[in-house]
């Protein structure tokens, strides 16, 4: 059996740490573009769901919860708060079997989508990726 060589770890400078943190925040902001699309899609489904919108409320709760945590991690405090408001409203609506027109859910959903739109306007577009060729 071969030996495993251990390499000493190099300390990361404060400048490198800040640059990495800023790059991660930029990548997160680009990811928010797809998050906005998901929330808009869920809002359209909610608008059409006259009967049993509980599943949509559950999806909103789950997605808002994930976004709240990620936004807090990347220091988007206002976004985390908006996602938290939607999480609470959609959770309450699901538990109370609210109608698809629940005003608290819609207020929180519109506020979150609007905030994501503002962030998107201030974020460079994700780079175009080359097409993926699938093997036959």
Q: Give dist(CA 6, CA 40) in Å, integer.
A: 49
∠ CA(47), CA(55), CA(43), 5° rounding? 30
For domain 24-121, which architecture applies?
Up-down Bundle (1.20)
How many helices (H) and strands (E) the chain has is answered by 4, 0
Q: Could you read off the pLDDT of 16-58 as tens digits, one per residue?
A: 656 667 788 888 888 899 999 999 999 999 999 988 899 999 9
Q: Could you read off the pLDDT of 65-98 as tens digits, one per residue?
A: 999 999 999 889 999 999 999 999 999 999 999 9
20 burial (CB, 10 Å; 0-12 / 13-18 / 19+) is exposed
Give me the residue spans of the domains in the chain: 24-121
Q: Could you read off the pLDDT of 96-115 as tens digits, one per residue?
A: 999 999 999 999 999 999 99
- Do residues 58 and 49 lie in contact, with contact meaning Cβ atoms separated by under 8 Å? no
Q: Give dist(CA 87, CA 4) in Å, integer.
A: 47
Global pTM?
Answer: 0.76
């Amino acid at each position: 059996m071969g030996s495993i060589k251990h390499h000493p770890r190099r300390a990361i400078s404060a400048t490198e740490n800040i640059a990495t943190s800023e790059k991660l925040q930029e990548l997160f902001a680009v990811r928010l573009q797809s998050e906005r699309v998901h929330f808009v899609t869920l809002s359209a489904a909610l608008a059409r769901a006259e009967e049993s919108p509980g599943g949509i409320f559950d999806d909103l709760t789950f997605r808002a919860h994930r976004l709240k945590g990620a936004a807090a991690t990347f220091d988007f405090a206002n976004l985390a708060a908006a996602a938290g408001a939607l999480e609470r409203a959609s959770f309450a609506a699901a538990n109370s079997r609210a109608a698809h027109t629940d005003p608290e859910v819609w207020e929180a959903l519109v506020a979150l989508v609007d905030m994501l739109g503002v962030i998107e306007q201030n974020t460079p577009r994700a780079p175009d990726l080359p097409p993926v060729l699938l093997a036959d």
